[in-house]
Amino acid sequence: MEKQKLSIEIQQFAPKKNMLLRGKPLFDLCAEHPYVTAAFFSVCCLFIGQKHHILKGTAQYTAGEDGAFLSLPKLCLVLAAIFLTAQLCVAVKERKKPQEDPVPSLLATAGVTVSVFALGLFGLSAVSVYTVAALIALCLWIRRAALSLAKRIISAAGVLGGGAGIRYLLTTDYTPSEKAVLISALVCAVSLVILAADEGIKTKHVIAIMFVMGFALRLGYVLNVMVPDNQHDVFPIYFNAKYPRHNTYIWHIYETGKLPTENVYDVNQLSQLYHPPLHHYTAALWMRFQNLLGIDAFAAYENIQYLTLFYSAAIMVAADKLFLHFKFSGGLRIALFALIAFHPSFYILAGSINNDVLCILLMAVAALYSVRWYENPSLYNTVALALSIGGAMLAKLSGAVVAFGTAYLMLAKLLDLRTGIVNNFKALWHRFLVFGAICFPLGLWWSVRCNLLYGMPFGYVPSMSQSPANEQYLHGFSYWERLSGKGSVTLQNLYPNIGGTDVLGGEGRFFDYGIAPYAFKSSFFGEYFHKLNVTPFQNKLAYAITFAALALVLFSLVGMAVGFYVGYRNDRSHNIRKNPFLVQGQEQGFRFVLIFHAAMVASYVLFCFKYPFTCTMDFRYIVPTLITGAVSAGVFLSGDHKWKRPLKYVYIAITAVFCLASAAFYVISYGAPA
């Protein structure tokens, strides 16, 4: 009792430490260094404004006139309001913890953000804006009494050096995409210098910085690729009822506020109106919101990419929380997060305005809440799980694949013999009822509606012409040839090829018909990579990406195989708790990952055989396997076993090569015409 009282007294008089966003590693940098965050957001605003300026001279946007696009001051104020509101909400959430003082961080963030954005209202240049931001940051650091003179000098040098570097980059002839990435990298480097001088660099700081760089690379892709380019099932026109695509869907809802009633189910054309409407409604509302800010319809349509950019960035958050659930830490967690932050699939998804990326995000959230629900089937976790699975299905019907793994966890929870089936049912029946009452109507109402109104079969997907005249139609191949791509896999064939045309110009040299090779290649370079001018150096980077990725896939497959075998062996011996490849208590969570992964791959392969076309082999249909594969590799490499240590270092090194090569490949592409 005496020790407890003494401990309480010590806590009361201990120095207050700002832990505004404790437990949220991706935002710790915002809490500890709000001015750096404010400067980063300012730079993002400047480049978003530059994209609007770029659009004004293009043929697709001839309707745009001066003043039709969102002005930089308005954009700055909107983003500042969003950012400060988020900070305030977190501060209110933490109000019950008296030992934590969020006010200084909140005020500093507010002051710097408003100051930087206010400069834009007076028409000052981007160079002047960031110069003032850097000076404010320097003053804040000098006022910190906790820093020694040496640390103050290092911090000041870092801030001033970063400010000078950004000042220089903003005056160069780099493209907006290149500037966004390079400036973000410089901001992250300055942050590392400051952190090293202050409290040292920790895992959470590296994660936060990689999040910023992952966001910047996605932003660079968005700034480089206009909406008509590099899209899936989107025509380079805004509204065409004869050939309805995702853009048709969005424009119809935007203009009428209603769901489409024509061409929803038409076997004679490739209508995309059969898709559930969650993404399209959200995109239409986003366009309407921009109209309130003075943005015209065509610019608002282009800005749908910022919505998909947010979805793609949010996947990083969901994936990291899943890694934390499996108790991955240190360098292993950093490597796994880097794989999600820097994988090119997420750059491509950030610029795609179809419904893929929203479905993938909700599937990732559903995976997170599935394993959380098994550990704690609370009402909150039940509702969150139901909303995420139902929402994934409402974005795209294939989102239901995650339900296979969730169903296993629910069944395992119900049949847990340690607590008894009867007791489990009494404790969980109302949770199952709540889950079903939310998930099933949310995920299935669209399919039921279309079946009743239009006679559309459940699970309907329109098919392209199965005629030899269709260059994407794959016929005359055996099942093994389709699966393996035997005869089409060579070291010279690194990029996806549709219709027998090689990326480098050789007609008929390479023809992709293998499911596995095409999925592998399209995950890095996308379906439309042939539009880019590939330099010899990029070809070398492509080799590095390919071989590093093959090694990473091998780690994931070994992790799945070993985890499955050891789990099966322990089941047979009724000794599941002794699985040396899993953190204690995570066995069922890993089985969920295996089932989810297997269900995705199986449905994808069946889809490719049912619809034998090149485009159906695209990796975008199984992007969540990146997350399940990362978890499998993490499970295999986690733990303190001596033999795992060298393998872990090898995995981290290979991941570093893959991430650096991927980032460099696309940064170079940003400087080339798309």
Query: Is residue 581 in a domain?
Result: yes
Query: Is residue 329 in a domain?
Result: no
- For 455-535, where are the alpha helices, taking DSSP H only? 479-484, 515-525
Q: What is the DSSP letter of 621?
A: G
Q: Are residues 102 and 44 in the same domain?
A: yes
Residues with Cβ < 8 Å from 635, sequence gap 6 or more? 326, 559, 563, 581, 582, 586, 590, 593
What is the spatial distance between Cα 554 and Cα 629, in angstroms, rounded to a whole number? 10
Which pLDDT score, from 0 to 100, does residue 24 have? 39
Low-confidence ranges of the chain (pLDDT < 50): 1-29, 31, 33-36, 38-39, 42-43, 46-47, 52-70, 72, 96-103, 105-106, 126, 145, 500-509, 573-577, 673-674
Q: Are residues 656 and 603 in the same domain?
A: yes
Query: Is residue 72 in a domain?
Result: yes
Count H helices and E strands in the chain, helices first: 25, 0
What is the spatial distance between Cα 414 and Cα 435, in angstroms, rounded to a whole number? 14
Query: Is residue 31 in a domain?
Result: yes
Residue 597, class by beta-carbon neighbours within 10 Å (0-12 exposed, 13-18 middle, 19+ buried)? Answer: buried
* Residue 545 identity: I
Q: Are residues 392 and 523 in the same domain?
A: no
3 state SS of 613: strand
Q: What is the DSSP letter of 473?
A: B
Query: Is residue 335 in a domain?
Result: no
**Token representation of residue 583:** 């953190």
Range of 96's domain?
A: 22-201
Nearest to 550 by CA among 666, 663, 665, 655: 655
Q: Are residues 442 and 574 in the same domain?
A: no
Which pLDDT score, from 0 to 100, does residue 652 have? 93
Query: What residues does 613 pair with on adjacent strands?
Result: 473
Overall number of domains in the chain? 4
- Cα 8 from chain centroid (whole Å): 42
**Angle at 554 (CA atoms; ends 552, 556), nearest 5 degrees:** 75
CB 255 within 8 A of CB 446: no
Q: Are residues 478 and 424 in the same domain?
A: no
C-alpha count within 13 angstroms, C-beta hemisphere, residue 598: 12
Query: Is residue 491 in a domain?
Result: yes
Domain boundary residue among 437, 460, 483? 460
**Token representation of residue 364:** 């990732």
Domain boundary residue among 164, 179, 201? 201
Which pLDDT score, from 0 to 100, does residue 84 have? 53
Place of tokens 């991955």: 328
**Token representation of residue 74:** 């308005």
Per residue, the 3-state secondary structure of 357-415, as one string, reads HHHHHHHHHHHHHHHHHHHCCCHHHHHHHHHHHHHHHHHCHHHHHHHHHHHHHHHHHHC
Q: Are residues 524 and 481 in the same domain?
A: yes
Which pLDDT score, from 0 to 100, does residue 515 have? 87
Note the pTM of the prediction, 2 decimals.
Answer: 0.82
Query: What residues does 507 pair with on adjacent strands?
Result: 501
What is the spatial distance between Cα 218 and Cα 215, in angstroms, rounded to a whole number? 5
Which pLDDT score, from 0 to 100, does residue 595 have? 94
Q: What is the DSSP letter of 496?
A: -
Distances, alpha carbon 502 to alpha carbons 207, 264, 410, 522, 615, in Å: 38, 36, 48, 14, 16
Rg (CA), the chain: 26
- E strands, 234-323, are none
**Token representation of residue 153:** 């000098």
Q: What is the DSSP letter of 500?
A: T
What is the spatial distance between Cα 224 and Cα 216, in angstroms, rounded to a whole number? 12
Q: Return contacts of 119-123, CB within 8 angstroms, 24+ apart.
A: 120/42, 120/45, 120/72, 120/73, 120/76, 121/73, 121/76, 121/77
CB 191 within 8 A of CB 36: yes
**Token representation of residue 404:** 């296979």
Which pLDDT score, from 0 to 100, does residue 587 have? 80
What is the spatial distance between Cα 508 and Cα 499, in angstroms, rounded to a whole number? 8
Q: Are residues 361 and 506 in the same domain?
A: no
Place of tokens 């006022």: 143
Which pLDDT score, from 0 to 100, does residue 92 have? 52
**Token representation of residue 313:** 């960035």
Counting every residue, how long is the chain? 674
Q: Are residues 422 and 501 in the same domain?
A: no
Q: Are residues 489 and 446 in the same domain?
A: no
Angle between the N-to-C axes of helices 587-610 and 356-375, in degrees from 0 to 180, rounded to the nearest 10: 150
Query: Is residue 414 in a domain?
Result: yes
Query: Is residue 17 in a domain?
Result: no
What is the tens place of the pLDDT at every residue in 418-470? 777 888 888 888 899 999 999 999 999 999 998 898 888 888 887 776 666 66
Pseudo-torsion of CA 445, 447, 451, 454, nearest 10°?
Answer: 100
Q: Are residues 367 and 503 in the same domain?
A: no
What is the spatial distance between Cα 447 and Cα 458, in angstroms, rounded to a whole number? 6
3 state SS of 110: helix
Query: What residues does 473 pair with on adjacent strands?
Result: 613
* Residue 646 identity: P
**Token representation of residue 455:** 């006679």
Distances, alpha carbon 134 to alpha carbons 37, 39, 167, 209, 514, in Å: 12, 8, 10, 18, 53
Q: Are residues 536 and 450 in the same domain?
A: no
613 phi and psi, to 5 degrees? -130, 155
What is the spatial distance between Cα 401 and Cα 652, in angstroms, rounded to a whole number? 30
Nearest to 38 by CA among 70, 74, 86: 86
Domain boundary residue among 201, 220, 236? 201
3 state SS of 419: coil
Q: Are residues 498 and 439 in the same domain?
A: no
* Residue 435 identity: F
